[in-house]
Amino acid sequence: MNLKKADWSKIVLLLATSLFCFLILEFTARFQLANNGHNLGYSEFGNKFDMYGWSTPENTSINTTILDHGNVTRSIMINYYLYGFKRWGNPGSSNPKILVLGDSYTEMDFVSNGEEWYSYLTDYFDDAELFVYGAGGYGTFQEYLILDSYIDKITPDIIIWQFCYNDLSNNLFELESAGFVATRSVSFKPYLVDGKISYRVPRMLWRFRKRSALFSFLLNLYDDYIEEPIWKRYKYKNLGNLYEKYLNDSLEKTIEIFRLAEDRAEGVPIYMFDSCSGDDVDLIICAETNLTCIHGLYDYVYNQHLNSAEAYVPGDGHWNLAGNKFAGNYLTDYFEMHRIEEQIEGRTDKNGSWI
C-alpha cells in the first residue's frame, strides 16, 4: 500500500515532534542531574565533569555530631583545605613531606581534624609537612589519579597509602558492576581498562547512561526500585561468590594500578597498610611490587576493640576517636622501629631532592 503525501507529512511531523520532546526531556534531565551533584560522565552542555568521579569539598568546614561509642556522642569539626585535602602543608618547605592517600578511612569524617590516625605521625615526624587526601568510596585508581595530579606540586619524601579490602571490587569494573547494589555507587567514575582511563557507572547499560541523561535518570529510577531486594540477595547469598569469581582479576588490576603509582612516584618510597581486613592481600600486593607493607594494623585495632576499647563507630566499620589513636600509634611505632626518618634524611641532598 502506497502512502499518500499527506501521510508522509504526518509521519515526519510525528518524528520531529518526538525528537523535539526527547531533546527537551534530555536537556531537562541533564540540568537536574548536574545540579543534584551527579557526575554524568561527560562535559557537554555545561555539565560539571569530575575526573576523579567525585571529590571532597575545597576550603570547607563542617560541624556535626556523631555517635562515637556506646551512647556517647561527640561534636566534631571537619575542615577541608586547598584542593579538598584534609591537610595541605607547605610544598616549599625543606622539612620532610608526607603524602597520605586513601578512601573514607583517610577522609575520616568521624573525628575532628587533628584527631585522625595520620595526626599521630607528627609524634615521630615532628617537623613533617602533611598532605592528606581521602574520599569515601574511592578505589585505588581514583587515589592514583590524585597522586598523579599533585605529586609534582608536593614532591613528597614518602607516601603512605591506606588500602581497604573493598578496593579490590572498586578497582575492577566487572566485579563492581556485577554487585552494584553492594557498592551503591551511582556516579560515573574512572576505571583502568586496557591501560587507559574509561569512565563508567558500575550498573547495567552504562553506555546508555553515559550518552543520555534521560536514560540515566530512568535507569536510576529502575535501580532504586529493585535495589533493596537485590541487595538482600547479594548480601546473604551471592556477594561472596562474586568476590571468589573475580578475585584474581581484581587483584591483578590492583597490582597494575600500584605499579603505575610506583612509576609515577619515581623512587619515592610507598608504604601501604590494610585498614579493613586481616588477611594477606596487602602482602600479596607488596610482593608483586616495590611497596612496603605495614602489615597487622587491622588485627591490632580489632584486638583492642575486642578488649573492650570500643575502637569502632557503632553500627559502622570506621574507627572512632580511640580507633584512630590505636591506628596512629601502630604506624608511629612502625616508623620509629624502622627508623624511617633517618632513611629519608639519608636519601636527600641539602635541597631536599632525592639522591
Higher-pLDDT residue of 76, 343: 76
- Structure confidence by residue, pLDDT tens digits, 35-50: 555 544 443 333 456 8
Q: Residue 341 pLDDT > 80, yes or no?
A: no
- pLDDT tens-digit map of 139-178: 999 999 999 999 999 999 999 999 998 899 899 998 887 7
- Return the domain boundaries, the chain: 60-346
Q: What CA–CA distances, in Å, run from 30 to 85, 217, 221, 287, 342? A: 29, 9, 15, 45, 54
pLDDT band of residue 23 (cuts 50, 70, 90) is confident
Q: 23 or 61: whose pLDDT is higher? A: 61
**What is the rounded average pLDDT for all residues in the chain?**
83
pLDDT at 155: 96
Q: Which residue has the higher pLDDT, 17 or 316?
A: 316
% of the chain beyond a pLDDT of 90: 54
Q: What is the pTM of this model?
A: 0.82
Higher-pLDDT residue of 336, 32: 336
Q: What is the mean pLDDT of the segment spanning 93-115?
A: 95
Which of 192-201, 260-269, 308-317 has the largest mean confidence? Answer: 260-269
User: Looking at residue 346, what is its pLDDT?
Assistant: 54
Counting residues of the chain whose pLDDT is more than 70, the rounded percentage is 77
Average pLDDT over residues 63-84: 95
Name the residue with higher pLDDT: 77 or 185. 77
Model pLDDT, residue 288? 96
> Each residue of 190-232: pLDDT tens digit?
999 999 999 888 877 767 777 777 777 777 677 666 655 444 5
3 pLDDT band (50/70/90 cuts)? low
Q: Which CATH class is domain 60-346?
A: alpha beta
Range from 66-80, 122-136, 173-187 carrying the lowest mean pLDDT: 173-187
State the pLDDT at residue 41: 46
